[in-house]
């Protein structure tokens, strides 16, 4: 099958395309999916660069990608929630090979039926970013009718987090940060307060917020905006040892004592500042979760959650899609289309 993969860590040049063996059922809960579309995420190029090599052990060649939408072609005997021909979407777990291929195998516990009102391109844009937003809000114990700050609202996570804060948590106020040309788009997504980071410092403009989701590595600045007793959850700062050593399923993430000590040292200035401000601080490492995927499907079908897509690339130009994402200018998701159902067969 056609796929995009790398055989060593490095820059964009190590990404290559070629044939890999088609995956087969390995367990009773496995599902084989013919992939129609794949959305790319920053973790894809960070993993290729080797940034996560001390946390995740690769098997070579490693196929790129987490998010996907496609059609079931085979099911294990215990994957009774799905049948051949079902349209599904999801995020692969960290210990799986990637999604940027014609076929993948994934456990049924990690996927959901595709929202009936979305195309495969639209559905592929939701899994990782939506799970990140929901898991972050719940990790920080966000309650309803609170004031919520989300930094980097134009990014993949930020653009869905704004919508989820409003739709699921009934946020009283949602504030975000973005560049000048994206201000109006943030308001259309539901943001009540939008700070232009090119001209203003959000920590000077915003105050008395109950919760902040840090998507940009600005947790310390978030502490300036959040009230005592509030919470900040970051997906962009250095992970804490605690965040990568929970009792939950981290899907292949392994942290040695030595690495954990280093992580705590690197994150100590942020955690210390949180204690001084009397604010709960957490780092989130997103994991695949089929129950959350079912919730995302329902939100999409209720039209409470809309995918935000910047650009779609054909499969043959997936390397250019990765370079485009890596350049850091995308507003929303970058998606690779593998099966174009609009073309006549």
Six token digits for residue 97: 């090979």
Query: What confidence category does residue 253 fall into, taking pLDDT thresholds of 50, 70 and 90?
Result: confident
| Residue 2 to residues 15, 19, 244, 251, Cα–Cα distance (Å) | 13, 5, 33, 26
Domains, the chain, in order of start with CATH, read: 2-126+307-337 (3.90.180.10), 129-283 (3.40.50.720)
344 pLDDT above the threshold of 60? no
Query: What confidence category does residue 247 fall into, taking pLDDT thresholds of 50, 70 and 90?
Result: low
Per-residue pLDDT tens over the stretch 106-152? 999 999 999 999 999 999 999 999 999 999 999 999 999 999 999 99
Six token digits for residue 28: 């009773």
**DSSP letters spanning 203-270:** HHH---EEEEEESSS-HHHHHTTEEEEEEEEESSSPPPTGGGS-SS--TT----HHHHHHHHHHTHHH
Q: So what's the pLDDT on residue 345?
A: 43
Average pLDDT over residues 192-205: 97
Six token digits for residue 36: 């129609």
Per-residue pLDDT tens over the stretch 41-71? 999 999 999 999 999 989 999 999 999 999 9
Separation between Cα atoms, residue 179 and residue 197, nearest integer Å: 6
Average pLDDT of the chain? 96
Separation between Cα atoms, residue 37 and residue 201, nearest integer Å: 38
Per-residue pLDDT tens over the stretch 257-311? 899 999 999 999 999 999 999 999 999 999 999 999 999 999 999 999 999 999 9
231 pLDDT above the threshold of 50? yes
């Amino acid at each position: 099958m056609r796929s995009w993969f790398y055989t060593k860590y490095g820059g964009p040049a190590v990404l290559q395309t070629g044939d890999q063996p088609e995956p087969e059922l390995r367990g009773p809960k496995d599902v084989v999916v013919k992939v129609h579309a794949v959305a790319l995420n920053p973790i894809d190029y960070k993993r290729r660069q080797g940034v996560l090599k001390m946390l995740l052990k690769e098997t070579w060649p490693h196929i790129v990608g987490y998010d996907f939408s496609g059609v079931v072609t085979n099911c294990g005997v215990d994957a009774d929630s799905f049948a051949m021909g079902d349209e599904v979407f999801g995020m692969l777990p960290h210990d799986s090979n990637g999604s940027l291929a014609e076929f993948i195998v994934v456990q049924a516990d990690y996927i959901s039926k595709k929202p009936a009102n979305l195309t495969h391109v639209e559905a592929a844009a939701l899994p990782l970013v939506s799970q990140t937003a929901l898991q972050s809000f719940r990790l920080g114990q966000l309650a309803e009718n609170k004031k919520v700050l989300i930094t980097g609202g134009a990014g993949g996570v930020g653009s869905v987090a704004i919508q989820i804060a409003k739709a699921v948590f009934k946020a009283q106020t949602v504030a975000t940060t973005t560049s000048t040309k994206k201000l109006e788009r943030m308001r259309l997504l539901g943001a009540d307060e939008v700070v232009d980071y090119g001209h203003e410092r959000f920590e000077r403009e915003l105050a008395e917020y109950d919760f902040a989701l840090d998507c940009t590595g600005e947790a310390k600045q978030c502490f300036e905006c959040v009230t005592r007793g509030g919470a900040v959850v970051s997906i962009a700062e250095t992970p804490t040892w605690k965040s990568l050593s929970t009792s939950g399923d981290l899907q292949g993430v392994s942290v040695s004592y030595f690495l954990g000590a280093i992580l705590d040292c690197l994150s100590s200035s942020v955690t210390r500042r949180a204690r001084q401000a009397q604010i709960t601080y957490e780092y989130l490492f997103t994991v695949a979760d089929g129950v959350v995927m079912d919730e995302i499907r329902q939100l999409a079908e209720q039209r409470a959650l809309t995918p935000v897509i910047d650009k779609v690339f054909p499969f043959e130009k997936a390397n250019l899609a990765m370079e485009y994402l890596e350049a850091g200018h995308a507003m929303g998701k970058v998606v690779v289309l593998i099966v174009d159902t609009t073309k006549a067969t």
